[in-house]
Amino acid sequence: MATPSGLIRALHRGTLGQNMVVDRIFSGIQPTGTPHLGNYLGAIQNWVNLQEEYSSVLYSIMDMHSLTMPKEPAVLRQNILDTTAAILACGIDPKKCFLFRQSLVPEHAELAWILGCLTNVPRLLRLPQWKMKRASQNSEGTVGLLTYPVLQAADILLYKSTHVPVGEDQVLHLELAQDIAQHFNKKYGEFFPVPKAILSTTKKIKSLRDPAVKMSKSDPQKLATVNIADSPDEIVLKFRKAVTDFTSEVTYDPAARPGVSNLVSIHAAVTGLSMKEVLHQATGLDTAHYKMVVAESVIQKFAPIRNEIKKLQEDKSHLIKILEDGAEKAKELAAPIYQEIRRLVGFQ
């Protein structure tokens, strides 16, 4: 039986009547090129599952956010395409979600200005990301770096999103979005749903060279980060060089044995097995042999993804069209919401 077009429009707007709100997922990823193992296990894998569970899902390539750290234009353009190819290869389906580039929907920036006028500066200065990233900019920091959490709030609220998949390090930013939504509602009347967090169940993936910090694309140690497009030889080398300790037995104890515990977390996440099952499989193995077991599991997981990335990267026009089509759908969804925001604040 066909769904009535009016119901489809109501679903897109986020309302099925005055008091009923549709559950809507919003999340985004910065275009840093091909994602790494931590991105995949902590976010993208969850995105693939969520697009099957929810009827209204938006995923954005956050190119505006990427400007908070200096980028050469040509590098940014290529990173946008490479990130898009990678998440498509991982299983994101444009038929089941809106996949789009943030800067193609100007309402993100316009709403960020409105919300910024409701946000106090001391609150932004307290956010740990400001303190950490400012250090990488010679302790100066830019206005964009300070205010990008407000743009994140606009990203979420523009679509009346109800749920946001986040990692532990983004919880404070979501709390800011929640507070901004409540502040707006108090000032202008109930309008925004207060978005809820969907926390990743995957343990945070750590650097292979320093298990005290999370895996990062910007890590200067090339052996610290496994990218999903790495060759089998590269993956084996990185796991062989992974920092562990002088105890040969494989156990899970993040406080006392962070390096080995990180390997166990990765092994469980890529195989879908429980920690208990993974440790049982590792019985009798020393850490040197176990590293190769984990490496092989990662190679098997990423082999089809790596092949698909290569195919998708050969057709740039296809990737661009997917992002443009997704942006048109996102604009259609955002337009009536933003027009109502304009009316509420007195612009029209």
Would you state the pLDDT for residue 268? 96
Question: Over the stretch 172-202, which tens digit does the pLDDT of each residue have?
Answer: 899 999 999 999 999 999 999 999 999 887 8
Verify that 277 and 191 share a domain, yes or no.
no
Give yes or no: residues 194 and 102 share one domain: yes
Over range 19-39, report the average pLDDT: 89
> Is residue 325 predicted with pLDDT exceeding 50?
yes
Task: Kindly report the CATH number assigned to the domain that includes residue 193.
Answer: 3.40.50.620
Among 120-129, 228-237, 253-262, name the one with the lowest average pLDDT: 120-129
CB-based contact 124:150 (threshold 8 Å): yes
**What band does 128 get if pLDDT is binned at 50, 70 and 90?**
confident
Q: Determine, yes or no, domain membership for 271.
A: yes
The yes-or-no answer on residue 222 being catalytic is no
17 — pLDDT class (breaks 50, 70, 90): very low
pLDDT of residue 147: 94
Q: For residue 320, is it within any domain?
A: no
- Using CA atoms, how far apart are residues 40 and 21, in angstroms rounded to an integer? 30
What residues make up the domain containing 186? 25-204+325-345
Q: What is the pLDDT averaged over residues 16-34?
A: 80
The verdict on 306 and 338 lying in the same domain is no
* Sequence-ordered list of residues with C-beta below 8 angstroms from that of 41, at least 6 positions apart, any chain: 202, 205, 266, 269, 270
Catalytic: which of 217, 316, 329, 331?
217
The CB-side HSE value for 228 (13 A sphere, CA atoms) comes to: 31
Mean pLDDT, the chain, integer = 91
Segment 226-236, tens digit of pLDDT: 999 999 999 99
Catalytic residue among 96, 133, 316, 331: 133
- Structural domains in the chain (count): 2
CA proximity to 82, closest of 223, 232, 229:
229
**In the predicted structure, residue 135 carries a pLDDT above the cut 70:** no
Q: Is position 217 annotated as part of the catalytic site?
A: yes
In whole angstroms, give the CA distance from residue 33 to residue 26: 21
Q: Give the whole-angstrom CA distance, residue 125 versus residue 79.
A: 29
Distance CA 333, CA 9 (A): 9
Catalytic residue among 160, 203, 206, 214: 214
Q: Which residue has the tokens 């946000």?
A: 119
What is the chain's percent helix, strand, coil content, to nearest 5? 55, 10, 35
For range 342-346, the mean pLDDT:
97
Distances (CA, A) of 106 to 47, 101, 114, 156, 346: 24, 10, 13, 14, 19
- Alpha carbon distance 117, 176 (integer Å): 14
Q: Do 236 and 199 share a structural domain?
A: no
- pLDDT tens for 275-323 read 999 999 999 999 999 999 999 999 999 999 999 999 999 999 999 999 9
Q: How far is CA 169 from the centre of its chain?
A: 11
Q: Which CATH number is 268's domain given? A: 1.10.240.10
Same domain, 279 and 193: no
Residues 293 and 329 occupy one common structural domain: no
In terms of domains, do 286 and 333 share one? no
Q: According to the 3-state scheme, what is the secondary structure of 43-74?
A: HHHHHHHHHHHCCCEEEEECHHHHCCCCCCHH
Residues 103 and 188 in one domain: yes
Residue 336 confidence class, pLDDT cut points 50, 70, 90: very high
Q: Do 118 and 180 contact (CB within 8 A), yes or no?
A: yes
Out of 51-55, 103-107, 145-149, 201-205, pick the least confident: 201-205
- Same domain? 154 vs 295: no
Least confident of 125-129, 210-214, 286-290, 307-311: 125-129
| Residue 238 is a catalytic residue | no
Please give the structure tokens belonging to residue 125: 């200065």
**Which residue has tokens 């707007």?**
13
In this structure, are 280 and 306 located in the same domain? yes
Instruction: Quote the pLDDT of residue 156.
Output: 98
- State whether 191 and 125 are in the same domain: yes
Mean pLDDT in residue range 245-272:
95
